[in-house]
Amino acid sequence: MANLVLKNITKKFGKIVAVNNFSFNVNDAEFVTLVGPSGCGKSTTLNIIAGLEEPTEGEIYIDNIFSNNISPSKRDIAMVFQSYALYPHMRVRENIGFGLKIRRFDKKEIQKRVTETADFLGIGNLLDRKPAELSGGQRQRVALGRAIVRKPKLFLLDEPLSNLDAKLRTQMRADLKILFSDLKGSVVYVTHDQLEAMTMSDRLVVMNDGIIQQIGSSDGVYDHPSNLFVAGFIGSPMMNFVNVKIERGVIYSDGIEMALTKQQLDKIATYGYKKEYILGARPENITISKSESKICFEVEVVEDAGAEYIIHLKNGKNRISLISEKDISPKRGESLNLQFDVNKTHLFDIDTEVAIY
């Protein structure tokens, strides 16, 4: 396995800047996920790493070797696409072994590796079938097999689970995590699904509009989002955002009056005062209070999510949601006293959208 370094990569298609001054690295045996909405430049970045696209600017190092001029076939990288791209006329056996065959591996070696790989993936009994005779999940495993069998330096996976139904996707998510951990593979994984990114990765590269927003562990980006975009993109149900004013250490907005901690006030003082800010609070960090409180909202809708309720509330121009246990039965229009876990709130600059804390 190998490490990967991207330095100041930019890719332009005419006037479109698909990837803008991108720098990140993948350590040996690390699982790194590029995550962001559709069109943010994830596939373009993977294609540049694979050598299928040439960067307009910047440098690529694979295993510490400057690789911009190395052709895709010599980069020793395996790529798995959303579409699987299996050869329909070939059996599973030939599909998995094809990359070795064109690299002129010995027939016996091909057979050995194909069998090993198929067994490893739990598809050893399907080697004589053609892709049309397989389920979506089985095809996905064949596509993975074709990548793994070559023992490449680096795996690139572009939305490999998007074509699977929800249940299978959840299972494959766990399977892939185990698989690459067993292989000690260096992986760059691409998805628009923040939950997939959170559950599978050692580190996430959160992207928007071709620009890296934040690089960090799942906990890191969840607990300490660097800006409003990351805060809203990572986590479901989404973080609540409310425009607020701060006066004498207290946050005010429709339905909200909350004293800040000394630490938070210090951070605001260091950052510089603004007329208005955006307060962020995750739904799981808002609780319903039995006693009177200074945060009061009216119930709009109660969603039964099975294990819990997601309650949507409003007060004036503010709309928020919270997650609650099912031991209560709130009614539409009912007023609820709430408590925000102040230490877990976030504050953003209303103009630059940068996180103040």
Q: How far is the CB of 40 from Mg ion (least distance, A)?
A: 9
Name the site residues for ligand ADP (rule: CB under 6 A): 13, 16, 18, 38-44
CB closer to Mg ion out of 37 and 122: 37
Judged by CB under 5 A, the stretch of 36-44, 177-185, 250-258, 302-310 that binds Mg ion is 36-44
Tokens of 15: 């006037």
Nearest CB to ligand ADP, comparing residues 42 and 113? 42
Q: Residue 40 binds what, of ligand ADP, Mg ion, none (CB under 5 to 8 Å, by partner type)?
A: ligand ADP
Min dist. Cβ of residue 173 to ligand ADP (A): 19
Q: How far apart are CA 26 and CA 202, in angstroms?
A: 10
Closest CB to Mg ion among residues 43, 318: 43
Instruction: Select the residue interacting with Mg ion from 43, 95, 140, 253 (CB under 5 A).
Output: 43
Which residues on neighbouring strands pair with residue 189, listed in sequence order?
A: 33, 157
Asked if residues 280 and 347 have their Cβ atoms less than 8 Å apart, the reply is yes
How many other β-carbons are positioned within 10 Å of the β-carbon of residue 213? 23
Query: Which residues are registered as beta bridge partners of 154?
Result: 77
In sequence order, the 6+-apart residues with CB closer than 8 A to the CB of 349 are 271, 274, 277, 278, 355, 356
CA 149 to mean position of chain CA atoms: 26
Tell me if 67 contacts Mg ion by CB under 5 A.
no
Whole-number Å distance between alpha carbons of 59 and 196: 29
Give the three-class secondary structure for 304.
Answer: strand
Stretch that binds Mg ion, among 24-32, 35-43, 62-70, 348-356 (CB under 5 A): 35-43
Out of ligand ADP, Mg ion, none, what residue 152 binds, judged by CB under 5 to 8 A for its kind, is: none
Which residues bind to Mg ion, rule: CB under 5 A?
Answer: 43
